[in-house]
Amino acid sequence: MTAPQTQGISILLVDDHPVVRQGYRRVLEHQDDFHVVAEADNAADAYRAFKAHAPAVVVMDVLMPGASGLEAVRNIRSRSSSTRILVFSMHSEATQVKAAFNAGANGYVTKGSAPGELIRAIRAILRGEQAISDDIARVLALESLSPTGSALDQLGEREIEILRQLAAGATTEQIAANLNLSMKTVQNYHYLIKTKTGMRTDAQLVRLAVECGLASL
């Protein structure tokens, strides 16, 4: 079940854009000891390819249609704790990065990074380190300086779930039905979420939810 080490480092490459995969494949195979053994363009195929090839490293874009890439990261991590998973993404928000590491990623590199950073990150996670690209490091560093963590830290589980559904477009009535609550309770949560987060309009709440990775689109 562990990856073969005899002929270099086996890599599974996951991205939904063929051209982007070509770019990464080229960058990766420029390293003599790297070998892309499989590609996938969605989360389900990624998991299948992982089981079939048991690669030493999974390089994955978390932004894919259908099932979330983070879902795939979680699945892979639950199956193998030794596989190194490097996430690359368009996003450099701290919440996105944390979500990736929570899901089991070993590294996080933005798509804007230079090719060399990707290589360095892979070598780092192969040594057992955690790797992030320079721009991510800057974002996280700045965030750690600010007294306010993620806006979600101040919210309870129930509040987060209601914020998620609000951002998804659900009405108060639908949320109440979904969670078996009275509309009154949902209204109170709605208000509480706004005051706690300092958002004044529902539109701002949606943007917050998206920033925090609670909602997409």
Partner DNA sequence: TCCAGCTTGGGAAATTTTCCCAACGAACCT
Partner DNA sequence: AGGTTCGTTGGGAAAATTTCCCAAGCTGGA
Q: Which residues bind a copy of itself (CB under 8 A)?
A: 16-24, 26-27, 90, 111-115, 118, 166-171, 199-207, 210-211, 217
Can you tell me the distance from the alpha carbon of 176 to that of 209, in angstroms, rounded to the nearest whole number? 19
Give the nearest distance from C-beta 195 to DNA in angstroms. Answer: 6
Can you tell me the distance from the alpha carbon of 171 to that of 132, in angstroms, rounded to the nearest whole number? 39
CB 11 within 8 A of CB 35: yes
Name the binder of 123 from DNA, a copy of itself, none, CB < 5-8 A by kind.
none
Does residue number 158 form part of the binding site for DNA (CB under 7 A)? Answer: yes
Name the binder of 191 from a copy of itself, DNA, none, CB < 5-8 A by kind.
DNA
User: Locate tokens 């090839």: which residue?
Assistant: 53
Give the x-and-dash track for 179-198 against DNA (CB under 7 A).
Answer: x-xxxxx-xxxxx--xx---
Residues binding DNA (CB under 7 A):
156-159, 172-173, 179, 181-185, 187-191, 194-195, 200, 202
